[in-house]
Amino acid sequence: MSSFDPSLSTLDPAQSEGSDDAAAAALRLDLLGSGGEQLGLEAPAKSPLASQTALLVLLVVGAAAALGAMRYLGMGPRSSLADVKIEYDVNEQGGDPAKKVDHLRVLADLSQSHLTVQVPADQVQRNPFRMAGALEAEVIQEPGMPAPPETGAGAREAERLRQLAVEREKLIMSGLASLTINTIIGGDTGNAVARISGQTVRIGDLVDDLFTVTEIHGRGVVLTVDGKAYSLEMAAGDSAPNGPGRNTKRK
């Protein structure tokens, strides 16, 4: 930095005042320059990102060290158990004979045991696997013995079915009694036609919405209902197959 000596100046007062201003300006510039150099020498501020990275690295290293320590401590008991050798001789003799038990004898005793493990059926007061009302003693049916009468709901159902069968039989018999063969054409051929109570039928047709024609022969027709066959024939006094019928017969 340059120094200024006013005694060496030969300028007039006006020039001297201007020189003072110039010297002051130069002094300020020197001060600013030296301050800028000082600012340039200061250390830069630390970044927050660098601190976070360092903290993360420390956490990772600490976690790895903790895992390694736990693994080392956990492998210790396992390695000690692996070195244990169990040696036991079942045929070894010695010790207190009273405390030894022959396993073969125990198995033999168990196989020969006759302890009752099942309650007899006649001593069971109530069977939880059967519905109420069906706990009566079962009767063994011997050959030649009549079936015991049913009781309860089974008896009522059997009686209902029997009544239906009786009514069905009455309907069939009354239907047969009302049928009359009027005419039979081609009774001995495969294309026979019969006229029953005014209705012309062939094999397979339905008569009176109840009977099925299964056969037509010379003087009669076979009707089937409920798996039973009934023969409807012309009257014996008729001279020709085409004459009117006057009676019926049942097989």
pLDDT at 9 over 50: no
Would you state the pLDDT for residue 117? 60
The CA distance from 24 to 118, in Å, is 126
Mean per-residue pLDDT over the chain, rounded: 71
pLDDT at 249 over 70: no
Q: Are residues 219 and 231 in contact, defined by beta-carbon separation less than 8 angstroms?
A: no
Q: Give the residue with greater pLDDT, 67 vs 75.
A: 67
Would you state the pLDDT for residue 238? 52
Most confident of 18-27, 68-77, 180-189, 196-205: 196-205
Per-residue model confidence as pLDDT tens digits over 90-104:
555 555 555 556 777
Residues 6+ apart with CB under 8 A from 183: 194, 195, 242, 244
Q: Indicate whether this model's pTM tops 0.75.
A: no
Tokens of 168: 């069905």
Would you state the pLDDT for residue 164? 92
The CA distance from 176 to 250, in Å, is 8
Residues 6+ apart with CB under 8 A from 53: none
Q: Give the residue with greater pLDDT, 36 vs 172.
A: 172
Q: Give the residue with greater pLDDT, 148 vs 212.
A: 212
Q: Give the residue with greater pLDDT, 183 vs 146.
A: 183
Would you state the pLDDT for residue 127? 65
pLDDT at 48 over 50: yes
Identify any residues that bridge with 185 across adjacent strands, giving them in sequence order: 193
* Residue ranges covered by each domain of the chain: 181-251
Region 195-212: mean pLDDT is: 88
